[in-house]
Amino acid sequence: MITIENLSKRFGNYLALDRISLTIGTGELFFLLGPSGCGKTTLLRHIAGFYQPDQGRILFDGQDVTTVPPHKRNAGMVFQNYALWPHLTVEKNVAFGLEERHFPKAEIDARVAEALRDVRLGNLAQRKIHEVSGGQQQRVALARAMVIRPTCLLLDEPLSNLDAKLRLEMRGEIRRICRQFELTSVYVTHDQQEALSIADRIAILDAGRLLQVGQPAEVYRRPRNRFVAEFIGEGNFLSGRVRGRNSLTEIELEDGTVLRASATPEGSPVAGSKVTICLRPEAFWIAEHQPAGQAMRAKLVETTYLGQLAQHRFQWHSDSLRVSELNPRPARFLPGQEYDLTVEPEDVTILTE
């Protein structure tokens, strides 16, 4: 288990980490997600031991490792550029960490063979690095990190140099390896789809601050603020006022339309307060007509057909609404026509500032 307590770091006048506190459970595949410069790689490098914090501490299974050097933390690291030795074979690259630790040759050979089998590269042991593909190099980097049998695995945007097909394949491979060996893993990325598809939990960072932590579905469906909602997916953001609260919160939009929202863990805002709501594009139902007051009447402006879904753009008063239709039928909805857009209360998210 990795525990981070009140961690802060400055580089000159730049505040890279601002009082980060976080617990990553044993065997958890945990993602640090955010835009470039948000502090996610800086935090990962603190966990690895490459940086020392200005304040706060880091614990592995309750033991303070804040000042422990990287090679004594037993953390395997996979870098964005893989950091492989081009003049060495696949086998020698994987063996490097064990040789530096002065393991007996017989044990090195056994561990390297096992690690290469685990990443399905056993038949490429004698190849030079420049003789294997990008995806295979990524597997070599994984094998090198795993061969030391780390207590945790740290991955810094490991798939960013691969094409789309290989990225998809390696997502599943990384998840398989982490599950198989019950590795506590911390994975840095700016790719939302990577995080949503394989993470146990994700943390969203911005400007060195921790904005939200939760399971992928929780963060996607219940973002705490607009930054999280925009970063983790698409959203339609509308202003309104809380009209009342019963089992559901009633929100009156600027044109008088009333939408109902389910309660949030933080509780609903008081009646009369101004709020911003987030409506995901796929949350809408499109219909010819709904009972008055239960729907947003909007004009279809254009449709982009993508096979498995269609992306519609509607005009609702001064707002442009993005609506996704799954498994669309061609020409079902026609540009220039008005339609009613409805949304269920559990899909209406009230955002905090």
Q: Indicate the CATH number of 2-223 among 1.10.645.10, 3.40.50.300, 3.30.450.20, 1.10.10.60.
A: 3.40.50.300
2-223 and 234-351 agree in CATH topology = no
Q: Please report, rounded to a whole number, the percentage of residues in the chain having pLDDT higher than 70.
A: 96
The distance of Cα 47 from the centroid of its chain, to the nearest Å, equals 18
pLDDT, one tens digit per residue, over 127-163 is 888 888 888 888 888 888 888 888 899 999 888 777 7
pLDDT in tens, 236-280: 999 999 887 777 888 889 888 889 888 665 666 777 788 899 999
Q: Render pLDDT for 89-126 as a digit per residue (tens, 0 to 9).
A: 999 999 988 888 889 999 999 999 988 988 888 888 88
Domain range annotation of the chain = 2-223, 234-351
The residues, ordered by sequence, that sit 6+ positions from 102 with a Cβ below 8 Å of its Cβ are none
Assign domain 234-351 one CATH number from 2.40.50.140, 3.40.140.10, 3.90.79.10, 3.50.50.60.
2.40.50.140
Tens of pLDDT, residue by residue over 40-86, are 999 999 999 999 999 999 999 999 999 999 888 888 888 877 788 88
Predicted confidence at residue 265, as pLDDT, reads: 57
pLDDT tens string 181-222 = 888 999 999 888 889 989 999 999 999 999 999 999 999 999
Q: What is the pLDDT of residue 320?
A: 94
